[in-house]
């Protein structure tokens, strides 16, 4: 596959490109059909998400308090936890019909939940409410019906521990794969490692964020015509062989096979890792956990000699409404609130993300040099996440991860791993 030939496929969320312009356990039942306080009873909305822990202390609760003051009779009960545990809770709730009224969603979950009938068709809800969809920068759809609205969007650049790199003689963040491999080797010592790679099969999003990101960063694709293309694909082969080489050189932090995203952030925050690929959502956590850590962000290194646009991995804090919720009308009021221009501007600012409302503008672009850099990276490339909206996207990541682990561990060749993953993916598609 030629580089740059698949750019169109990377825009997985409808209208996501407009972000660049904009951003310079409820009980099962039926719709209550009323607004809290107007039908003779107050309503409590359960809102399950992983966002609150990733924001400054108290910031998200303050927004919920504002919503409650503007909507008398509606109370929001935040069910907050790390991404991995929130995912487990949401998956269990979807299966049991006990999902929270409002739920934070990852785009990779949407197809499965929609097929299960666990989340509500938001197209119908928006139509009934007379909601103006044109203000939404993007929507995630299944069979042309919206099931998730991205509230804010995060790019996944490379984070570097600048003091660790400088101490090893690396004067600037690497921009190519060969520079990255050299920096990883130089920063690996008895107590530190050059790179960290979470490959937990329980939470397999490391395949999306930390493995396939190398493919997208060089303009490549894991698909061909919307179908799996893992074998006979130079883009995928070169990226996975590159990671295999880093593994064999011993520059990747140990424990990858059971490591989750939060483990990666903790290791980097503690100064034990020179480089990682991670979400801008975690900048606050890193700064709070280690105020003395001198770190920066840059674009994910591209294949040597590549001069085209770089794919920028991204993920969203998406929002949906449970089909089992008895308070869908009230739940959508909360969605409307979070997507309103002023609130979405505030949320994207405190989250250091790009807004989901086309009219919203975060203040961090000019106020924080680090995020100004992130915006420049975003503008210079294109949003890339081919897993968003794919059927059983989580399982696709897990299938790939199982075979990828075997290759790294020497149980099979990387070529055989890609062939085995291709077979699994074709069965899932």
5 within some domain: no
**Per-state percent for the chain, helix, strand, coil, to nearest 5:** 45, 15, 35
1 within some domain: no
How far is the CA of 137 from the CAs of 13, 48, 223, in angstroms? 9, 23, 25
Same domain, 121 and 163: no
Q: Which of 325, 343, 371 is the last residue of a domain?
A: 371
407 within some domain: yes
2 within some domain: no
8-state DSSP, 55? S
Same domain, 259 and 360: no
H or E stretch at 104: strand 102-105
Same domain, 183 and 86: no
Domain of 67, CATH number, reads 3.40.190.10
Crossing angle of the two packed helices 393-408 and 414-428, in degrees rounded to 10: 160
382 within some domain: no
4 within some domain: no
What are the start-end ranges of the H helices in 226-302?
234-248, 261-269, 283-289
The total number of structural domains in the chain stands at: 2
Same domain, 180 and 275: yes
Same domain, 144 and 211: no
Same domain, 63 and 94: yes
380 within some domain: no
How far is the CA of 39 from the CAs of 64, 73, 74, 329, 369, in angstroms? 22, 10, 12, 12, 49
Strand partners, 298: 158
376 within some domain: no
Tracing tokens 């059909």 back to the chain, one arrives at 33
In order along its 429 residues, the chain shows pLDDT tens digits of: 444 333 333 334 444 433 333 333 344 433 434 444 444 469 999 999 999 998 999 999 999 999 999 999 999 999 999 998 999 999 999 999 999 999 999 988 998 999 999 999 999 999 999 999 999 988 888 889 999 999 998 889 999 999 999 999 999 999 999 999 999 999 999 999 999 999 999 999 999 999 999 999 999 999 998 899 999 999 999 999 999 999 999 999 999 999 999 999 999 999 999 999 999 889 888 999 999 999 999 999 999 999 999 998 888 999 999 999 999 999 999 999 999 999 999 999 888 888 899 888 888 777 888 888 888 887 788 878 899 878 888 899 999 999 999 999 999 999 999 999 999 999 998
Same domain, 84 and 168: no
Closest CA to 316 of 24, 15, 32: 15
Same domain, 108 and 144: yes
Tracing tokens 């130089």 back to the chain, one arrives at 186
Provide the domain limits for residue 55: 12-153+316-371
Same domain, 45 and 64: yes
Task: State phi, psi for 362 to the nearest 5 degrees.
Answer: -75, 150
Same domain, 262 and 410: yes
Per residue in 44-57, pLDDT tens? 999 999 999 989 99
Query: pLDDT at position 53, please?
Result: 93
Same domain, 409 and 357: no
Same domain, 249 and 277: yes
Residue 181 in tokens = 């491999």
How far is the CA of 418 from the CAs of 32, 92, 403, in angstroms? 49, 31, 7
């Amino acid at each position: 596959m030629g580089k740059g030939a698949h750019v169109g496929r990377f825009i997985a969320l409808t209208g996501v490109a407009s972000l660049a312009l904009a951003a310079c356990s409820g009980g099962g039942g039926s719709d209550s059909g009323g607004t809290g306080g107007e039908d003779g009873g107050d309503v409590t909305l359960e809102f399950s998400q992983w966002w609150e822990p990733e924001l400054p202390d108290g910031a998200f609760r303050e927004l919920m308090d504002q919503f409650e003051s503007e909507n008398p009779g509606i109370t929001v009960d935040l069910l907050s936890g790390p991404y991995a545990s929130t995912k487990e809770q949401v998956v269990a709730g979807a299966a049991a019909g006990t999902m929270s009224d409002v739920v934070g969603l990852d785009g990779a979950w949407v197809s499965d939940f929609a097929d299960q009938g666990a989340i509500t068709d938001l197209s119908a809800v928006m139509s009934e409410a007379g909601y103006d969809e044109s203000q939404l920068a993007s929507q995630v759809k299944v069979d042309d019906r919206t099931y998730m609205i991205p509230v804010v969007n995060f790019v996944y650049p490379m984070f570097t521990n600048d003091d660790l790199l400088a101490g090893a003689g690396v004067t600037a963040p690497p921009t190519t794969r060969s520079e990255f491999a050299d920096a990883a080797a130089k920063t690996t010592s008895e107590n530190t490692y050059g790179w960290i790679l979470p490959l937990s099969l329980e939470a397999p999003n490391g395949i999306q964020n930390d493995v396939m990101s190398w493919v997208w960063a060089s303009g490549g694709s894991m698909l061909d015509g919307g179908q799996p293309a893992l074998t006979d694909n130079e883009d995928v082969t070169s990226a996975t062989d590159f990671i295999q080489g880093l593994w064999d050189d011993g520059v990747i932090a140990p424990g990858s096979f059971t490591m989750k995203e939060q483990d990666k952030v903790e290791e980097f925050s503690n100064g034990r890792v020179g480089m990682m690929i991670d979400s801008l959502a975690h900048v606050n956590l890193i700064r709070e956990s280690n105020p003395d850590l001198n770190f920066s962000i840059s674009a994910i290194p591209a294949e040597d000699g590549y001069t085209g646009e770089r794919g920028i991995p991204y993920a969203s804090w998406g929002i949906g409404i449970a089909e089992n919720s008895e308070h869908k009308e009230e739940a959508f009021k909360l969605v409307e609130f979070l997507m309103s221009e002023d609130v979405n501007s505030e949320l994207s600012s405190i989250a250091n993300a790009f807004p989901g409302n086309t009219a919203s503008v975060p203040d961090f672009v000019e106020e924080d040099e680090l995020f100004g850099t992130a915006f420049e990276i975003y503008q210079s490339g294109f949003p890339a996440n081919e897993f968003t909206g794919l059927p059983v996207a989580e399982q696709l990541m897990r299938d790939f991860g199982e075979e990828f682990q075997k290759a790294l561990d020497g149980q099979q060749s990387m070529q055989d791993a890609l062939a085995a993953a291709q077979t699994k993916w074709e069965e899932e598609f």
